[in-house]
Structure 1
């Protein structure tokens, strides 16, 4: 399913929910300039369309103890659809792999891994290699620090003008 038609109120709802996901419908309606009933109907519609996938807590990992964040560039040996699917299904089975992107360029996937230590990250990569899922090689970058993080998508910039009524 492609892009869905949204208007300025839908964008306001999405932008506010990115910042304040636990707000009540009353607060949301007030923030976006709608009455409560239409605001609730729009929010439900955005959920039904799959634009709003869910809500979650923003966890401060550093408060929970040590961990390592690693970005790995993964190259697979064969480029048939089945080979991509095989890698993706295997990667999805590991909770340490938080994000997986099929990318263009010098490698096939960029994966973000969070592990309790470098040794545990290495164990994960060794398991993936032993699983014989088509990994030809991988190259990893350990995150030293994270100067900033912006979890809110720049909705006004990425929306397609044709989908906005």
Structure 2
């Protein structure tokens, strides 16, 4: 499926407000409600929209700790990467995992109740012997900029 200008506008608006009604969305993108809904359903079925969720203000929940963790694996065979991923994907406190280029293999983001919970997770991972050579932890002190949207209008000018 090739995206057109209206599809990009629909995605852009849904990123800003996933709870927008179809009627409101149709008005914003200059369509009638029925064709707008057809486009949204097509974008969903083609995988352009993965889902909808609420953005939680973690700071309001009480004491939490966010940590970025760089992980380097000892070996770099497919089986090593697969074993690592199959283990870490079961950790609820892991909210992001990225395979990256550069000086390490993975960049992970954890949200935990505190430093001792994070330390326990990392100790269990090391004890499981899933191929971690080394890791570095970066505690997030403050997040002055957090964006939850992709800059669609910059990537695909309207």
Indicate the TM-score class for this superposition, using the shorter chain for normalisation. over 0.9
* 2:129 counterpart SS class: coil
**Is 1:143 paired with 2:140?**
yes
Shift of 1:23: 0.9
- Structure-2 separation of matches of 1:157 and 1:134: 39
- Structure-2 separation of matches of 1:139 and 1:88: 18
**Is 1:124 paired with 2:121?**
yes
- Scaled by the length of structure 1, the TM-score of the pair is 0.92
2:90 counterpart (80, 88, 93): 93
2:8 counterpart (1, 11, 36): 11
Q: How does 1:62-81 map to 2 (within 5 A)?
A: 62-81=59-78
Shift of 1:152: 1.1
- Structure-1 separation of matches of 2:6 and 2:155: 16
- Scaled by the length of structure 2, the TM-score of the pair is 0.96
In structure 1, the partner of 2:29 is 32
Unaligned runs of 5+ in 2: none
Shift of 1:8: 0.5
**Is 1:102 paired with 2:99?**
yes
- Structure-1 separation of matches of 2:134 and 2:70: 8
Pick which of 88-97 and 149-158 moved more: 149-158
Alignment root-mean-square deviation, CA: 1.3
